[in-house]
Structure formats: C-alpha cells, structure tokens
C-alpha cells in the first residue's frame, strides 16, 4: 500500500484532558466548549482513520463509533475527574465500534497515532473487534454483538461501590442474552450504567420498520431498569442524564436518540452509515472540516492486491454467499406461488445482503421475513415452520454465530424439523474482524445421535458447486447446513483446464470427489481451502511428487468407498480453515483407525488467533499452498 507519508494528519494533540465530576450535573461554559471541541476532533479522526479501511479494502465501521463520541468524551472526563467512582473501561457491546477503543488508547498514550493508519490491516494489531492483550490500551474483548453486558454484570459484582459503563445500541439490545443480563442487573442491584445509541439503524434496515412494536426503552423498563431517554446530540441534556445515572444507585439505561452519522452528508440517517464510510464521502466531510492533510492521505492510498496465481483454478471468481441466494431463487422459480407460500419461509437476521438472502427478498418478498439480530429465535422460528413434512424454513447468518444456536439446533432435530441453513463467512478468509468472527466451529452443528433426524453439513468449493449443492439438497428432509466464505472463490478446474463442476455436473450428497489422482498420498479438503490445495498439488506434481486431492463437500458423512481408497495410500493430510480442535481433521483420523486403515496422517487447520487483514489469514495459519506443500514433503520424508 502506497501513501504520501506516515504521519497521522490530524492533530490529536489538540485533545484537551478535561476532568469532570458527576456531582456537578451542569456544565460550565468553558467545560461545554472543551467537550464540543473534543467531540469534533474525535469525530474527524474516526471518519478519517476508518476511511483508510475503505481505501485499503479491509472495510470497517464508521457510524457507530462516530455516533457515540459525545458520551465517550463525557466518560473520559469522569474517569479523569472522579476515577475512584468508576471502573475506567469503555465497555462496548457493539464490538464493530472498535475505532472508539483505538482512538482512546491513542489519546491515553498507549498507542502511537500513526498505528491508526493501519486500521484492520494484517499484522497491525488493530482487528475489527477489540481483543484484550493484543492491542496496547485495549482493556477488554468485545466478542460478538450484544454479548458484553452479561459479562460486565460480573465486573460490577467484582467492583462493589463502583459504576461500570456499557456502551450499547438498539441493534445489540435485540440479542436475547441482553434480556437475561437486564434481569440479573436489576435483581442484584448492580451498579451498571447502559448508554445506548438508539439510532434506528442496523445493517439491513431500520428496527422501527422490521420490528414494529419493539422499543428499547419500554423493553428495559419492563425488566425493571430506570430509563433516561433524550437527544444524544443535545450535549447539556446528555451530560445531565449521565450524571443522574451515576448519582442513582443500581442499573440505569441512558438511551440516546440520534440519527446515524449526524452531520455527515450522504450518510446521516442511512443504513450505509453502519459500515465503513466510502472514501468519496469521507473526503467531502474532511474537506468541509478543513482537514486537508487527511484528505491528501486518503487519496494517496493504493489498495493492496493478492498477487499469487493459483494453479488448477480459473480466473473467474465469485461470491458463494451470494450464489446461495441465487440458487434458492432458481429452485423457488419452479414452484407455483401457492406452493411457495405453503411450503417455504425465509427468515433473515439483519444480514440479508451479507448472506445472499437479499436476492430471495427481492424476488419473493411474500415468503421473506426481515427479522432482527436474534439468531436463536429466528433459527427456531424457521425450524418451527418446517416442523410438518413437506415444509421448510430457510435461515442464514454468519458462521461465527452458529455456536450461539447449538441448543436450538438440537431442539429442531428432536422435533424432526426441516431447515435449510446458510452460514456464510465460514473459516477465516477475508476476516478483518478477526478471531471472534472466525467461523471455525461449524462441525458443532452435527451434534445429534447416530439415529437422529438427518443432519448434513456441506461446504461447496466454488460457484458452480454451490448451485449444484442447493439444487440437490433443497427438498431433502432434515437439517441441512451449507457453508460459504466472506471471500470470493475461483472456479475449480480439472487437469485439462475445464470447470470441474461445470456443465453436466450433479452434486451427490455424501459422496466425496477425486479432484486429482495420486499414488503417493492424498490431501482431503473442501470449501475455500480446496483451490489452495489444488494449487499445492499441481506444484507438488511439477516437483515429481504424485499427490492426489479429494473434495469432501459433505463434511459429516463417511464415503466408505473413498475412505478405503485414501486409507490405503501412503499418507492422508486434511487441510481446512476450521478449528484444528473441532474440524473435519479431528474426526477423519478416527474414521480411518476404526476401519483398520493406517496411513501416515496429519491435519492442518486454524490453530491460533488471527492476524487481521484479508487473505493474509491463510498463510498466518500455515494453510496456504506453501504450508500445505511443506507438510506434504514432511509426510513423504522430504524437506
């Protein structure tokens, strides 16, 4: 990535170290002006350095941290002026607002300002969600959206007499565990103070539209919290309400109404403000603020590219997560309108654009429900719709969130439900959000007994196979889990350079496929690891090592013919992006031994926390072609 210089182009030294005491619930004129100046400075900085993520291709989130700057500035002044009253951590249940944590770490002297220029990039130690003990000055790990409030209830228990703040949002408050946390906080009189940015915007829409009847304030009041609601952009009112919350014992919710991205032309009030600000809008905003150096820096950034050429794959790349929706529409188009309404229901969890459901929504809105950030409830609703034979629910979310749905998956199986699930963002590829968003424990979905209702896990390798997979399993009974990645994947080719899964290909559930024959051993792979494994095999063959490759798209079913074939080879190497402890490789060796098959055996998978960035995650885990080649040579006795 090329830039003009490495100096942070906004003067963060202008930040004034204000000290405030909540015992004084009104601001003086000087305090007000200092707060306003700090707010503007920090909002400018957040727009700028999150926009570097847009310019460098690693993405990010601007609106959330931008919105919540006023309350963060007040808390920072409290932590300085009355530190004995607080646990001085900016806990945030919306981890994607991590720009807040990085900016405050910089202002507190823990992080060089220049490091902010590498927001979300590989090996920058600035992942898309805060990670404790990774980034200097970051004091907690947020995990996934809406998961931190239950945790800080325990922090409050461990710090009696001190207030603990939790920054929240109307999106994160949709998660069911927040309801549980609210009840505990009230019952135990915990001194937890929620500051909730209620901007009526989430990724896929406006809660007031897709969840009519839901009110953050009424919900929290129903749990017993005192609620202080007002205009988040009215600084005096905001300050007064936060002071009142601090001076009132127990669990209090400060709810701040404001539009998304107030004051940013082109984003204010828009769902697009949730994501990273586009470079052109950032430039326009920064120019209006007189931040010329920041504008020049943004314009100088060149987006880095993956330059490696993968052998055995075409130059046609596509997003399987979108192909899933297109393939479902293809199947639905062959059903009558009456049949669709009777037999299919699609339920989204605010991720329709990310998981491929948007195409279904646009084409068949009558069978589509835009629901909230309520994965467990939404999955169960889809399963309930599919309780009767011949009906099925369709559900999708990120693979990282599969872990949240294990109990509901079990209940669906016990009720003989029919659900077609698409878990996108599986594995680690293009995962700048980093470790907490890795979709690596997907085998957890296969948690039934041998005689349980059918459960099948599929991870197609390219766009052609994704379409064929959906076509083949759409009307199958049971729980069907189809995985895809955030990243695009190339079309797999045969040895003659033709699409392996091209014209005439039919996907057969439960059957493994020989991608390349070999006499010295076999690699077993699937999904986005397959094209990397193909490349490794082609390069090994060029070096005289005749290694074969098997595509195991059906992850949890044993193909007896294929396992006998590979089990009689000199070695078997499983290559995957799933968790090395819980993935396919943790099972495959046992399957071999149970059949008396004893080749040399090894397993490559994700085994350590991520490095941030995009494609860089693969070589960091040693599962790129170089890592695969090295492991094969080790198995055959080479270097």
Segment 33-51, tens digit of pLDDT: 999 999 999 999 999 999 9
**Tokens 């930040």, located at residue:** 15
| 76: phi then psi, degrees, rounded to nearest 5 | -60, -40
- The number of domains in the chain is 2
Return the pLDDT at 1: 43
Domain final residue, candidates 271, 300, 329: 300
Residues 557 and 621 in one domain: yes
Structural contact between residues 27 and 239, judged by C-beta atoms closer than 8 angstroms: yes
In a domain, 222, yes or no: yes
Only one residue has tokens 């919306």, namely: 94
Tokens standing for residue 393: 């629910």
Residues in the chain: 639
Q: What is the pLDDT of residues 101-139, one digit of tens each?
A: 999 999 999 999 999 999 999 999 999 999 999 999 999
Residues 270 and 321 in one domain: no
Q: Chain-centre distance of CA 162, in angstroms?
A: 33
The rounded distance, in Å, linking the Cα atoms of 327 and 501 is 15
Domain check: are 294 and 324 in the same one?
Answer: no
Q: Which two tokens mark 339?
A: 């049949």
Asked if 451 and 357 sit in the same domain, the reply is yes
pLDDT of amino acid 328:
99
Residues 6+ apart with CB under 8 A from 588: 524, 572, 574, 601, 603
First vs last C-alpha separation in the chain: 34
- Does the residue 288 lie in any domain? yes
Same domain assignment for residues 121 and 200? yes
Is the residue at 457 inside a domain?
A: yes
Kind of pairing, strands 548-551 and 513-516? antiparallel
Does some domain include residue 514? yes
Mark whether 249 and 285 lie in a shared domain.
yes
Host domain of residue 92:
19-300
Q: What share of the chain is helix, strand, coil (3-state, %, to 5)?
A: 40, 15, 40
- Give the end of a domain, one of 240, 273, 300: 300
Q: Are 256 and 330 found together in one domain?
A: no
| 158 and 32 within one domain | yes
| Same-domain pairing of 357 and 248 | no
Of 589, 444, 458, 568, nearest to 513 by C-alpha is: 458
In a domain, residue 309? The reply is no
Instruction: Assign residue 540 the CATH number of its domain.
Output: 3.40.50.970
175 contacts: CB under 8 Å, gap ≥ 6: 145, 146, 147, 373, 374
Same domain for 247 and 293: yes
In the block, residue with structure tokens 């669906």: 412
H-state helical runs in 366-454: 375-385, 406-414
Dihedral-angle region of residue 459 (phi above 0 means left; psi in -120 to 50 means alpha; beta otherwise): beta
Domain ends where: 242, 269, 300? 300
Question: pLDDT value at position 376?
Answer: 98
CA distance 184 to 203: 29
* Inside any domain, residue 66: yes
Name 493's bridge partners.
499
CB 600 within 8 A of CB 572: yes
- Looking at the fold, whether 266 and 336 belong to one and the same domain comes out as no
Rounded to whole angstroms, the Cα distance separating 531 from 128 reads 26
- Does residue 185 fall inside a structural domain? yes
578 φ, ψ to 5°? Answer: -70, 170
Q: Which of 55, 42, 258, 79 is nearest to 163 (CA)?
A: 79
- Residues 59/582/609/164 CA torsion (nearest 10 deg): 80
Query: Could you say which residues of the chain have pLDDT below 50?
Result: 1-5, 639
Q: Is 156 part of any domain? A: yes
Q: Are residues 181 and 90 in the same domain?
A: yes
CA 590 to chain CA centroid, nearest Å: 31
- Provide the pLDDT for residue 638: 54
Quick check: 224 and 183 in contact, CB under 8 A? yes
Tell me, what's the pLDDT at 639? 46
Q: How confident is the prediction for the chain on average, in pLDDT? A: 97
Query: What pLDDT score does 6 carry?
Result: 76
> DSSP string covering 416-444, please?
T--EEEEEES-BSTT-TT-GGG-B--GGG
């Amino acid at each position: 990535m090329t830039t003009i210089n490495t100096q942070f182009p906004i003067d963060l030294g202008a930040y004034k170290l204000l000290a405030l005491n909540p015992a004084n619930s009104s601001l003086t004129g000087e305090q007000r002006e200092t707060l306003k100046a700090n707010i503007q400075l920090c909002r400018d900085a957040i727009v700028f350095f999150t926009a570097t993520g847009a310019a460098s291709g690693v993405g990010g989130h601007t609106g959330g941290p931008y919105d919540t700057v006023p309350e963060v500035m007040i808390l920072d002044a409290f932590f300085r002026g009355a530190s004995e009253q607080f646990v001085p951590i900016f806990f945030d249940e919306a981890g994607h607002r991590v720009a807040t944590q990085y900016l405050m770490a910089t202002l507190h002297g823990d992080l060089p300002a220049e490091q902010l220029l590498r927001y979300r990039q590989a090996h920058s130690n600035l992942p898309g969600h805060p990670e404790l003990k990774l980034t200097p000055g970051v004091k907690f790990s947020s995990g996934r959206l809406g998961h931190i409030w239950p945790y800080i209830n325990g922090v409050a228990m461990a710090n009696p007499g001190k207030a603990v703040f939790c920054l929240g949002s109307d999106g994160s408050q949709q998660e069911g565990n927040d309801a549980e946390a609210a009840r505990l906080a009230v019952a135990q009189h915990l001194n937890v103070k929620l500051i909730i940015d209620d901007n009526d915007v989430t990724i896929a829409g406006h809660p007031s539209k897709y969840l009519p009847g839901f009110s953050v304030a009424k919900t929290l009041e129903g749990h017993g919290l005192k609620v202080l609601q007002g205009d988040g952009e009215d600084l005096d009112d905001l300050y007064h309400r936060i002071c009142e919350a601090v001076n009132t014992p127990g669990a209090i919710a400060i709810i701040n109404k404001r539009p998304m991205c107030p004051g940013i032309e082109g984003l204010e009030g828009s769902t697009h403000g949730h994501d990273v600000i586009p470079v052109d809008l950032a430039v326009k905003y920064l120019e209006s603020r007189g931040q010329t150096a920041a504008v020049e820096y943004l314009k100088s950034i060149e987006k880095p590219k993956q330059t490696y050429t993968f052998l055995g794959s075409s130059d046609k790349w596509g997003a399987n997560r979108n192909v899933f929706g297109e393939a479902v529409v293809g199947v639905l188009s062959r059903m009558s309108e009456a049949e669709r309404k009777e037999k299919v229901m699609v339920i989204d969890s605010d991720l329709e654009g990310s998981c491929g459901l948007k195409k279904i929504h646009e084409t068949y809105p009558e069978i589509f429900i835009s629901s909230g950030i309520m994965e467990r409830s939404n999955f169960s609703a889809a399963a309930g719709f599919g309780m009767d034979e011949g009906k099925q629910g369709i559900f999708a979310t990120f693979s990282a969130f599969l872990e949240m749905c294990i109990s509901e998956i079990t209940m669906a199986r016990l009720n003989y439900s029919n659900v077609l699930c698409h878990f996108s963002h599986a594995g680690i590829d293009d995962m700048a959000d980093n470790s907490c968003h890795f979709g690596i424990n997907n085998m957890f979905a296969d948690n039934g007994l041998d005689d349980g209702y059918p459960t099948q896990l599929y991870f197609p390798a390219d766009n052609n196979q994704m379409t064929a997979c959906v076509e083949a399993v759409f009307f199958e009974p049971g729980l069907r889990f189809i995985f895809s990645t955030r990243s695009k994947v190339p079309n797999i080719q045969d040895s003659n350079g033709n699409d392996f899964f091209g014209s005439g290909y039919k996907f057969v559930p439960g059957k493994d496929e020989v991608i390349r024959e070999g006499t010295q051993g076999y690699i077993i792979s699937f999904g986005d690891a397959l094209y990397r494994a193909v490349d490794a095999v082609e390069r090994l063959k060029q070096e005289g090592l005749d290694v074969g490759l098997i595509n195991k798209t059906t992850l949890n079913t044993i193909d007896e013919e294929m396992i006998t074939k590979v089990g009689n080879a000199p070695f078997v190497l499983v290559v995957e992006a799933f968790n090395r402890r819980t993935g396919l490789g943790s099972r495959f060796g046992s399957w071999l031994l149970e059949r008396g098959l004893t080749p040399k055996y090894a397993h490559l998978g994700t085994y350590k926390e991520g490095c941030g960035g995009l494609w860089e995650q693969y070589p960091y885990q040693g599962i790129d072609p170089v890592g695969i080649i090295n492991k094969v040579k080790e198995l055959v006795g080479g270097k």
